[in-house]
């Protein structure tokens, strides 16, 4: 798949960092391998050597520029033909507030009581919320703060300067 240039934040010989194409959440970033492999074990040695520093650099830039409450970094994927890639998912305080306000997601809290509900939420539940509400919903929630285009510009500049 060819990425539209407007979504690309940074490129190295082995990796491409881009804003997630299908997410309306500003700062949801992908780090994808240029090598057509879907396993860390199959990456060229130079790509593996570059990976750790690039993960750390992306984390520092996203946390500094966007200041999310949390930044989830994960690997998903089992779609044949897609190269290995990592997700950087910013969880802003306003996103978490939207999650708590949405009664549909309370069904996930089978063991929650009014006094402990928020302490039981985990990354999987917030990730599901972000995927469904900012990625799959035809009309995503209103964004608080800069939008996707502004965030892309800021992050691109930060990668150039770092």
- State how many domains the chain has: 1
pLDDT at 82: 87
- Write out 69-132 in H/E/C secondary structure: CEEEEECCCCCCCCCCEEEEEEECHHHHHHHHHCHHHHHHCCCCCCCCHHHHCCHHHHHHHHHH
pLDDT at 118: 56
Q: Which pLDDT belongs to residue 81? A: 80
Range of the domain at 147: 5-161
pLDDT tens for the chain, 162 residues long, are 689 999 999 999 999 999 999 999 999 999 999 999 999 999 999 999 999 999 999 999 999 999 999 999 999 877 778 899 999 999 999 999 999 899 888 776 665 555 555 555 778 889 999 999 999 999 999 999 999 999 999 999 999 998
Q: What is the pLDDT of residue 1?
A: 65
Whichever domain contains 107, its CATH number is 3.30.428.10
The predicted model scores a pTM of: 0.91
């Amino acid at each position: 798949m060819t990425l539209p240039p407007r979504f690309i934040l940074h490129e190295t010989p082995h990796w491409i960092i881009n804003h997630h194409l299908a997410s309306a959440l500003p700062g949801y970033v992908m780090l994808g391998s240029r090598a057509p492999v879907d396993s860390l074990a199959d990456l060229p040695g130079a790509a593996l050597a570059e990976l750790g520093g690039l993960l750390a650099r992306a984390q520092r830039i996203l946390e500094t520029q966007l200041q999310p409450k949390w930044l989830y970094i994960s690997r998903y994927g089992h779609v044949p033909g897609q190269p290995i890639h990592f997700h950087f998912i910013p969880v802003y305080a306003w996103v978490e507030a939207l999650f708590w306000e949405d009664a549909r997601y309370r069904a996930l809290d089978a063991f929650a009581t009014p006094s402990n509900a928020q302490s039981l939420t985990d990354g999987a539940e917030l990730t599901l919320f972000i995927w469904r509400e900012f990625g799959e919903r035809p009309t995503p929630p209103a964004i608080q703060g800069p939008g996707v285009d502004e965030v892309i510009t800021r992050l691109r500049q930060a990668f150039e300067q770092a």
